Amino acid sequence: MRVTRGLITAALGAGALVAAIAAPASAASVSTRSAALTPVSEPGWAGYYTNDVEVQAATTFVVPRIDCSGNPAGSFAGQALGVTFLSNYNGTTGPGYGPNSVVREYCVGHTAYYDTEFYFSNSAGTNEVAIPAGVPVRPGDVVETSVHVTASESVDTLVNLGAGRRGFAQRTGPGATDAAPNLGLVAVSGTATGPNEIGSPADSSPPAPSNRVVFFGNQIGNQPLSDAAGLGAEEWTDPSNASVVWAAPSALAGESFTLTVTP
């Protein structure tokens, strides 16, 4: 069994993790490299990515609470948080499918749902197959997701460090080539019966409203996120008006960043 763990959770317990999130970053810890990045407009995606081929990525975050009170009855709105890979990646969108390890949060009508899911490419590389991770989560839980990918296999891992709900899941699936990761938030599409697809930016609606999300201990290629080659930032914008931003990342503070969701 291969277990890919983040830098922070390898050294700290869950209590210390929460304290690390709450501690303010010093001005000296703000990455000047990421501060200079202008996020690209990408409907359905928000966070950090690299257009370099990589084999590993990991992030840790506190599951936010979504507000479904304004979601019309019978309609769907949602997003996934964690690590997503795309094959044949060109820096913003990709025609291929890669492995993903995520927490999904979504509204069906006025009801909020939270679950954990792994995704892998099918054998033909033409679609993604969703596999429940089976780790219960709820708002406030500290969750780490990671993916290790090679041409021959991909390994998705998800750990819930929440008090009283600690859980671990790992699954191995098909590999991917020319794969590059995103860390942050990605659209999930669905219907009144639930979610059906992750990462469909062309026809994405706004994300479900949520409180600010902190992503920390971020890695790409087993290195700190700020050291990643080809590093870029992306913000989720209205497909019909790129000046309307629905979710946007902050500059890096150390290896952490926040996502503000304002649909």
User: What is the DSSP annotation of the chain?
Assistant: ------TTTTT--HHHHHHHHHSPPPGGGB-HHHHTPPPEE-TTEEEEEESS--SEEEEEEEPPPB--TTSPTT-EEEEEEEEEEEES--SS--SS---EEEEEEEEETTEEEEEEEEEEE-TTSSSEEEEE------TT-EEEEEEEE-SSEEEEEEEE--TT--EEEEEEEE--SSEEEEEEEEEEEEETTEEEEE--GGG--PPPPB--EEEEEEEETTEEGGG-TTEEEEEEEETTEEEEEEEEEPPPBTTBEEEEE--
CA distances from 181 to 47, 58, 172, 228 (A): 11, 9, 17, 11
Question: Is 1 inside any structural domain?
Answer: no
Which pLDDT does position 188 carry in this prediction?
Answer: 92
Question: Is 2 inside any structural domain?
Answer: no
Which pLDDT does position 51 carry in this prediction?
Answer: 80
Question: Is 106 inside any structural domain?
Answer: yes
Q: Which domain holds residue 155?
A: 14-23+32-261
Question: Is 9 inside any structural domain?
Answer: no
**CATH code of the domain covering residue 95:** 2.60.120.1270
Nearest to 210 by CA among 139, 118, 108, 111: 139
Rounded CA-CA distance 209/68 in Å is: 7
Q: Summarize pLDDT for 154-204 with one digit per residue, the tens.
A: 999 999 998 777 899 999 998 887 788 999 999 999 988 889 888 765 556
Question: Is 43 inside any structural domain?
Answer: yes
Q: Report the number of distinct structural domains present in the chain.
A: 1
Stated pTM of the model: 0.86
Q: Summarize pLDDT for 235-246 with one digit per residue, the tens.
A: 999 988 999 999
Question: Is 103 inside any structural domain?
Answer: yes
Question: Is 120 inside any structural domain?
Answer: yes
Which pLDDT does position 205 carry in this prediction?
Answer: 83
Question: Is 8 inside any structural domain?
Answer: no
Which pLDDT does position 106 carry in this prediction?
Answer: 96
Residues of the chain with pLDDT under 50: 1-16, 18-29, 90-95
Which pLDDT does position 200 carry in this prediction?
Answer: 63
Which pLDDT does position 35 carry in this prediction?
Answer: 59
